A and B are shown apart, each in its own frame.
Chain A
Amino acid sequence: MKEKRAVVVGAGLGGLTAAALLARNGFSVDLFEKNTTPGGYACSFVRGRFEFETSLHELSGLGPPQNRGSCYRLLEGCGVADKLTFLPIADFYSSVFPDFRVTIPHGWEQAEEAYAKQFPGERKGIKALLNWMRNIFKEFEFVASSEKITDFIQIPAKATNLLGTIGLTVEKALSREITDPKLKALFCDIWGYYGLPPSLLSFTLFAIANASYIQHGPHHIKGTSQALADAFVESIREAGGRVHLNNGVKKILIDDMKVRGVVTEQGDEYLADYVICNVNPVTTCLELIGTENVPGKYLDSLCKQRHSLSTFNIYMGMDCPATQLGLSGHELFINDGYDQDEHYRCTFKIGRQKYWVITNYNHADPEFSPPGTCVLVITAVVDGLPWMRIPPDKYFDEKNRMAREMLDAAEEVVVGLKEHIEVIEVSTPLTNIRYSSNPYGSIVGFDYSLLGSPVFKLSNRGPFKGLYFGSAWVRPGGGFEAAMSSGALAFREVLKDSKRSG
C-alpha cells in the first residue's frame, strides 16, 4: 500500500493533536513549526530563577482518575496522557465584586450550593439553569461522539436542549431562570476565558465549556503547558513522525484545486496528500496560499467572522509565598462593578481595566517556583486592535503605562503585591501575535458570538482538496480543550478522505 503523506503546519495544540493522531494511525507525518519551542500559546518561559506559564489558567475536560472526561480520553488517544502529571485545582473560580467575594467549587451540587448561598432567593432558578447546562453538555457529548449515520439521525430528537440554545446569548439564557443582575454577573464571571461578554456570548458555548469545568473540575499540568506540548512531540516521534522546529512553512502548494505540499522557510519542498493547517485560516489564505488563489466564497466566509479578544499579562516572580499576600486559591476574578458590557467596552482601550484575573500558580503546584516564592500572573482580556495602532517607538511606554495602572489596581486587592515583585515581564496582544501569528493576538480564534458558536464555526475542511484546519479558529473553537479537539476533528476528516481514496 502506498504511504499516506501528511504535513502539519504549526505546532500549537491543534497541530500537535492532529500530528499525533496521524502518526499513530499509519500516516507519514512532518510537522513544521516556526518557533524554537512547540505549543503555540501553550508554552513557558524562564526569567531569573522563575519559570512562567504563558497561557494556561485552567484546563477543562480532564476529570478525576475514576471518571475521566473527554479531554483526558483525547490525550490518551494521542499517547500523551501517561507522560504527564495532572494537578487538580480545588475550585472552579473565585470572584471579587464591589460588595461580595465568593468561591465557586466544581461539582454540580457544590456549585449550586455556593451560588444559592450568596443568592438564597434564586435557588430555584440557579438549579434550573445548572440542570439545563448539564443536559446541554450531555447532549453535546453525544453529538460529539456521533460517527455513524444511525447516531446522526437521532441528533434532532436527542439534542433538543443543545439545538435550542443556538440562537441564545448568555444574557438571554440567564434571564430565563435568574433575575438579580449581581447573580448574573457572578454566574458568568469567567466570560473572559471565552472572550465576549454575556450580551454577545453564545450560550451554547458557555454552557458546554462551563459544564466541562464544573463536571470534570479544572486542572493544571506539572511542568506547565510546555510539558503538554513536549509530551505531544515525544508521542509524535515515538510513532515515527518528524517534528521540525525552527522551520516554518512559507508556502502551501496548490495545483488544480488540490493540495500538493508545502515549501518550508529553509527552502525545502515537502510533497503531501494532506496538509493540516494549525496556522489560522486568515494567515493561511493571505500569506501561505495567496488570496488570489483562494475561492472568493471561502474568503467571504472568513469575513463573516470576527476575531476574539486578546490578552494583556503581567507575569510576576514574587519573593514571598502567596499566603503572605493573603492569596489562598488558584485564581481571583476582579470586577469593578456588575455591568459586564461596560467592562467589555473597556477592553478596547489601553489602560486600567475593570475586569481582570490574578492567578497563583503555586496553589495547584507548590513546587511551581523556588521555596519561599510564588508566581502570580495578572491577566486582562483586551482587544488587539488598539495595540496594532501604536507607533513602534511608543510601544514600551504604552505597555508600561498600562502595566503600572493594572499594578495599582492589583495593589488595591492584594495589598503588598508591588513590594514583593522580584521579576516582572509584561505581554501584550502584540506578544501574542509575535509568537502565534494569530490576527489581533486573539486567544480563542474567531469569536464565540452567536454566529461563531460551535455550531456555526468554520469547518475543519479548507477550500481545497487535501487542505484541513485544526486550530482555535475552526470547529469546535478555541481554548486548550477545544483547540485539541479541533486537531482531532481535522484528523477525522483526513481519515475519512484517505479511506475513500483507498
Chain B
Amino acid sequence: MFKGIIKSTKNMLELGALIGKLALRQPTSTIPELDYSLGSDIIEKIHPESIRVKVSKIIEETSSTKTFRLMPVNGYLPPFRAGQYISLKLEINGVQTARPYSISSPPTNTGYFDITVRFMPDGFVSRYLCENVGVGDEFEISGPAGSFHYEPLTDTKSLVFLAGGSGITPFISMIRELREKNPGIDVHLLYGNRTPDDMIFEEELSETACQEDWFKMHIVISEPPEGYTGYCGFLDSNTISETVGDLSGKTFYVCGPIAMHHLCGSELDKLGVPSRRVKIELAGPPADITQVAGYPPDINPKEAFKVRVTFTGKENSPISLQASPHEPLLNSLERNRLKINNLCRSGECGFCRAKLVSGKVFVPPWVKMRASDLMMSYIHPCISYPITDIELLI
C-alpha cells in the first residue's frame, strides 16, 4: 500500500516534469524535428497517376505494326522496369476507353516511352491508333505498372523468353536494356509467329543475336509459307526442349496470345519446370469467351442482357443498357459513354471493381479474385461477362 503511494507520487513527479517540458517545448528525444514534408512530390515523380504525352514519331515496324513514340508534355517521365506497361487513355467517337501497352523502349532511354501496336482488323483501339493517330496528337497515360519484369531478387540469370506475335514488346525493352548494361544475364528468345512476315523487330533481333554472345534466338513459324526452311511449329514442349536443351536453372517468361500462355504454362509444367521459374504476363480478355472452359453452353450468341448501373451519389438516375454475353462488361459500359476507371484490363489491378447487386457474370477460371470480392460479390467488369440481366453499383 505504502509502496503504491510512493510509486504514484513518483509518477506524478514524472508527470509534472513532463508537463514542464511540454510548456518549455523542449524536444524529448534527439530525433530531428518534424518538418512536415508530405512526400507527395516524390510520389508524383515515381508513381504519377497520369502523364500527358505527345506523339513525337511514328515508326512503321511491319505492314501491320507501328511504334508510337510518346514524349512527356512537361518533360518528365518516371522510371520503370523493362517489361512494364502503361495504360493509354483515349476517346474514340465519344467512347472513353483505355488499353494497356507494354513499353517497348528500354528504361535507359529516359526521354520517351515507345509503345508498339499491331493493327487488328476488328480491334477497336489498335485500329484507331494505326489509322487515325498522327505526330503531334496528345494523350493521357498512366504511370508504368505491372510485375512482368526481371526480378533480381528471385530470378536466375539464365532467361528464356517465350514470345508470340506482338507479345515481343516487353521483351524488346528488356533486350534493349541488356544491350546497354548487362549484369551477367543470358537470354534465349523463342519467338513464335504465324508467318515470317508477322515478325516485329526482326532485323534488330537478328543483329543482336549476331553481335551479343549473351543472346540467342529461335524463330518458330506456325504457318510456314512453301519452301520455308526455318523452325516450324508451336511453342510446345518439343520445341522448348529441342531448342533450349537443359531447362534447369532457367527462368521462363511468357507473353503472347492467351492460348499461347495456357499452352506454354502447361507444357513447362509437363517438362518439370517449377512454377516459381515461370512468369506469365497478364492476358487481357480471350479472343472468344465461348471457347473458355466453364462458359455456359446455353447462352444464345445473339442475346443481350439488361444492365442497370447506379453511380454512387446519382442514386436517383440509374442507367440502363444492353450488354453482350460475349464481350467484357467494361467494354459495354464504355460503349454506352460511361467513364470507368481501369488499368490492367485483365482482372488483376482492381481499378474497375464494381459491386454486383444482382445477376450473374462469367469470369474466366484463370482470373484470381480477392477472397473478399467473392464474399461480398464484387466483380472486375474488365474480365466479367454477363450471363443474366444484372445490376451494378459503382
- Chain A residues with a Cβ under 8 A of chain B: 30, 36-37, 44-51, 83, 160, 163-168, 172, 176, 200, 222-224, 226-227, 229-231, 233-234, 237, 242-247, 268, 282-283, 286-287, 302-307, 319, 384, 388, 390, 392-393, 395-396, 400, 403-404, 407, 418, 420-426, 430, 433-434, 437, 439-441, 449-451
Interface: B327 (CB within 8 A) = no
Given A392-B42, A393-B79, A421-B154, are A166 and B368 neighbors across the interface (CB < 8 Å)? no
Q: In the complex the two chains form, what is the Cα distance from A437 to B47 in whole Å?
A: 13
Contact status A282-B36, CB under 8 Å: yes
30 A/B residue pairs, CB under 8 Å, sorted by A: A45-B350, A46-B368, A47-B147, A160-B4, A163-B8, A164-B8, A165-B11, A167-B18, A168-B11, A223-B371, A223-B375, A226-B370, A226-B372, A242-B312, A283-B38, A319-B276, A388-B39, A393-B110, A400-B153, A403-B153, A424-B154, A425-B147, A426-B153, A430-B43, A433-B38, A434-B43, A437-B40, A439-B37, A439-B39, A451-B22
For A233, the closest partner residue in chain B by CB is B376
Contact status B370-A439, CB under 8 Å: no
Contact A167 B341 (CB under 8 A): no
Closest beta carbon of chain B to A392's beta carbon, Å: 4
- Assess the A36–B351 pair: CB atoms within 8 A: yes
Contact check: which of A231, A319, A418 meets B275 at CB < 8 Å? A319
Given known contacts A224-B370, A230-B373, A404-B152, what 16 new A-B pairs fall within 8 Å (CB)?
A36-B351, A45-B350, A164-B7, A167-B11, A176-B7, A223-B375, A244-B313, A247-B312, A282-B36, A319-B274, A392-B46, A395-B46, A400-B152, A421-B153, A422-B275, A434-B43
What A residues does B274 contact at CB under 8 A? 319
Report the Cα distance A48→B25, complex, angstroms: 51
The distance in angstroms between the C-alpha atoms of A44 and B378, with both chains bound, is: 14
Which stretch from B26-34, B119-127, B207-215 is at the chain A interface? B26-34
User: What per-residue 1/0 map shows which CB atoms of B101-126 lie under 8 Å from chain A?
Assistant: 00000000010000000000000000
How far is A349 from B4 in the complex, measured between Cα atoms in Å?
A: 42
Q: Which residues of A contact B42 (CB under 8 A)?
A: 388, 390, 392, 430
- Bound-state Cα–Cα, A450 to B17, Å: 11
- Smallest Cβ distance from A370 to chain B, in angstroms? 9
Which residues of A sit under 8 angstroms from B7, Cβ to Cβ?
164, 176
Closest to A49 in B: B368
Within 8 Å CB of A176, what residues of B? 7
> Are B351 and A404 within 8 A (Cβ)?
no
Q: B350–A36 contact, CB under 8 A?
A: yes
CA distance A336 to B24 in the complex (A): 38
Question: Is there an interface contact between B38 and A304, defined as CB atoms closer than 8 Å?
Answer: no
CB pair A244 B375 closer than 8 Å? no
- Say whether B34 contacts A307, CB under 8 Å: yes
Closest residue on chain B to residue A393 by CB atoms? B79
The answer to whether B376 touches A231, judged by C-beta atoms less than 8 angstroms apart, is: yes
A418 touches B154 (CB 8 A): yes
Residues in B with CB closer than 8 Å to A200 are: 28-29
A424 touching B11 in the complex, CB below 8 Å, given contacts A167-B18, A244-B312, A392-B45:
no
Q: Which residues of B contact A47 (CB under 8 A)?
A: 147, 348
| Closest A residue by C-beta to B154 | A421
A residues near B78, Cβ cutoff 8 Å: 392
**Interface check B15, CB cutoff 8 A:** yes
Determine the distance from Cα of A128 to Cα of B47 in the docked complex, in whole angstroms: 51
A48: chain B residues at CB < 8 Å are: 368
Q: Roughly how many angstroms separate A46 CA and B110 CA in the complex, as a whole number?
A: 29
Residues of A within 8 A of B17 (CB): 167
Contact A395 B79 (CB under 8 A): yes
Instruction: Tell whether, in the assembled complex, residue A303 and residue B34 are in contact, meaning their CB atoms are under 8 Å apart.
Output: yes
Per the bound structure, the CA–CA distance linking A163 and B12 in Å amounts to 8
Closest to B276 in A: A422
Residues on A with C-beta less than 8 A from B147 are 47, 423, 425
Q: Tell me the bound Cα distance from A30 to B314 in angstroms.
A: 12
- Complex interface: chain B residues within 8 A of A245 (CB): 312, 353
Asked, given contacts A200-B29, A282-B38, A305-B34, whether A168 binds B45 with beta carbons under 8 Å apart, the answer is no
Say yes or no: A392-B79 contact (C-beta < 8 A), given A242-B312, A286-B36: yes
Residues of B within 8 A of A231 (CB): 376
| A302 proximity list for chain B (CB < 8 A) | 36
Say if the beta carbon of B60 comes within 8 Å of chain A.
no
Cβ contacts under 8 Å, B353 to chain A: 36-37, 245
Are B371 and A224 interface neighbours, CB within 8 A?
Answer: yes
- B180 interface residue, CB < 8 Å from A? no
| Alpha-carbon distance between A46 and B374 when the two chains are bound, in angstroms | 13
Q: Which of B65-118 contact A (CB under 8 A)?
A: 78-79, 81, 110
List chain B residues, Cβ under 8 A from A165.
Answer: 11
Q: How far is the CB of A156 from chain B (nearest CB, A)?
A: 11
Closest A-chain residue to B369, C-beta based?
A46
Instruction: Enumerate chain B residues within 8 angstroms of A306, measured Cβ to Cβ.
Output: 29, 31, 33-34
- Min CB gap B206→A, angstroms: 31
Chain A residues near B31 (CB, 8 Å)? 306
Question: A230 touches which one: B13, B37, B375 (CB < 8 A)?
Answer: B375
Distance (whole angstroms) from the CB of A179 to the closest CB of chain B: 17
Can you list the 7 inter-chain pairs with the closest CB atoms, starting with the nearest? A167-B14, A422-B276, A164-B11, A227-B372, A392-B45, A167-B15, A223-B371
Is B315 an interface residue when CB atoms closer than 8 A count as contact?
A: yes
Q: Mark B1-12, 1 if CB is under 8 A from A, else 0.
A: 000100110011
Contacts of A396 in B (CB 8 A): 79, 81
- Within the assembled complex, what's the spacing in Å between the Cα atoms of A286 and B39? 12
Complex: A247 Cα to B313 Cα, angstroms: 11
Determine the distance from Cα of A172 to Cα of B18 in the docked complex, in whole angstroms: 14
Distance in angstroms between the alpha carbons of A400 and B153 in the assembled complex: 7
Query: Distance (Å) between the CB of A159 and the closest chain B CB?
Result: 11
Report whether B376 and A168 are in contact in the complex, using a CB–CB cutoff of 8 Å: no
B151 on the A face (CB < 8 A): yes
Query: Chain A residue with minimal CB distance to B78?
Result: A392
Asked whether, in the complex, the Cβ of B372 is within 8 Å of the Cβ of A441, the reply is: no
Contact between A230 and B378, CB atoms less than 8 A apart: yes
Question: Is A424's CB under 8 angstroms from B151's CB?
Answer: yes
The answer to whether B14 touches A384 (Cβ under 8 A) is no
Beyond A244-B313, A392-B79, A450-B18, whether A420 also contacts B46 by CB under 8 A is no
Residues of A within 8 A of B341 (CB): 36, 246
Could you tell me the distance between the alpha carbons of A369 and B8 in the complex, rounded to whole angstroms? 51
Measured between C-beta atoms, what is the minimum distance from B186 to chain A in Å? 20
Are A46's CB and B348's CB within 8 A? yes
Chain B nearest CB, measured from A83 CB (Å) = 8
Option from A49, A160, A434, A439 in Cβ contact (under 8 Å) with B47: A434
Shortest Cβ distance from A428 into B: residue: B46
Alpha-carbon distance A30/B315, docked complex (angstroms):
12
Chain A proximity of B363: nearest CB distance (Å)? 13
Contact B368 A243 (CB under 8 A): no
Distance (whole angstroms) from the CB of A37 to the closest CB of chain B: 6
B372 touches A224 (CB 8 A): yes
* B contact residues around A224 at 8 Å (CB): 370-372
Contacts of B110 in A (CB 8 A): 393
Question: Please, which residue of chain B has its CB at the minimum distance from the CB of A160?
Answer: B8
Q: What is the distance, in angstroms, from B361's C-beta to the closest C-beta of chain A? A: 18
* Chain A: minimal CB distance from B183 (Å): 11
